[in-house]
């Protein structure tokens, strides 16, 4: 099984109604807490090793469970157990509804009535199954989307040279590939990685109650 590079480009397009453009992947509260633009590459790598890895592993497992005709609610429960922040869980479910629209439009078919409460990685796993995406490719998409979300937000919050931003993402690509290969063989909910990110979780909770902000999360 393989995935067309054009399909990955399509699903990574910020113009899709998947909600990525409405959030900063935690960058806005991180900057407010004192993170500097120069520290964003380190922030990207921290996310890739923690929350992004959990999401990528969840998407891969959701794809496998959908392929086997299993219950995706079990995957959702495993993801929630590994996402202790209420704000991050709420944001994940909001993004999931955006991907559900993509799924129902481009790869229509029966959808569980509970799907509107599923987070992005679970819906993305179902989408990957229907689109016949390779497991490593769906993990790769999660990693790339997270990096692009952060760097696109930085251009709005603390404008930088866009080529510098592109260079940061380019330098991260081997790490994204490595992460994708590592999670690509996961098949069961209990296999989903569990990595804590206390600062990111705390910033998410603080940001959720902020009255002045540019991004929803």
Positive or negative, the CA dihedral 9, 148, 64, 100 is: negative
pLDDT band at 212 (very low <50, low <70, confident <90, very high): confident
Cα 66 from chain centre: 19
pLDDT in tens, 1-27: 557 888 988 898 877 777 667 789 899
Higher-confidence position of 74 and 209: 74
What is the rounded CA–CA span in Å between residue 130 and residue 15?
Answer: 21
What is the rounded CA–CA span in Å between residue 119 and residue 80?
Answer: 9
pLDDT in tens, 185-206: 999 999 999 998 888 999 888 8
Architecture of the domain spanning 5-205: Orthogonal Bundle (1.10)
Distances (CA, A) of 27 to 123, 195, 201: 24, 19, 12
pLDDT at 2: 59
pLDDT in tens, 64-115: 999 999 999 999 999 999 999 999 999 999 999 999 999 999 999 999 999 9
Burial class of residue 5 (count of CB atoms within 10 Å of its CB; 0-12, 13-18, 19+): exposed
pLDDT at 120: 95
Residue whose tokens read 């998947």: 18
Instruction: State pTM to two decimals.
Output: 0.94
pLDDT band at 207 (very low <50, low <70, confident <90, very high): confident
What is the rounded CA–CA span in Å between residue 26 and residue 206?
Answer: 10
């Amino acid at each position: 099984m393989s995935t067309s590079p054009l399909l990955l480009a399509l699903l990574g397009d910020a113009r899709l109604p998947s909600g990525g453009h409405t959030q900063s992947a935690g960058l806005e509260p991180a900057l407010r807490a004192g993170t500097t633009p120069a520290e964003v590459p380190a922030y990207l790598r921290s996310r890739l090793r923690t929350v992004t890895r959990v999401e990528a592993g969840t998407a891969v497992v959701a794809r496998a469970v959908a392929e086997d005709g299993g219950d995706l609610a079990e995957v959702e429960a495993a993801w929630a157990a590994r996402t202790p922040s209420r704000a991050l869980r709420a944001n994940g479910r909001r993004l999931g509804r955006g991907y559900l629209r993509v799924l129902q439009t481009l790869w229509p078919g029966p959808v569980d009535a509970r799907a509107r409460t599923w987070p992005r990685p679970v819906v993305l796993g179902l989408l990957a199954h229907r689109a016949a995406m390779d497991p490593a490719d769906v993990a790769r998409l999660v990693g790339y989307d997270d990096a692009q979300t952060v760097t696109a937000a930085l251009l709005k919050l603390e404008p930088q040279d866009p080529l510098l931003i592109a260079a940061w993402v380019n330098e991260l690509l081997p790490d994204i590939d490595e992460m994708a290969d590592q999670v690509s063989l996961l098949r069961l909910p209990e296999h989903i990685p569990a990595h804590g990110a206390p600062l990111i979780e705390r910033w998410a909770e603080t940001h959720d109650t902020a009255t002045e902000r540019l991004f929803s999360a």
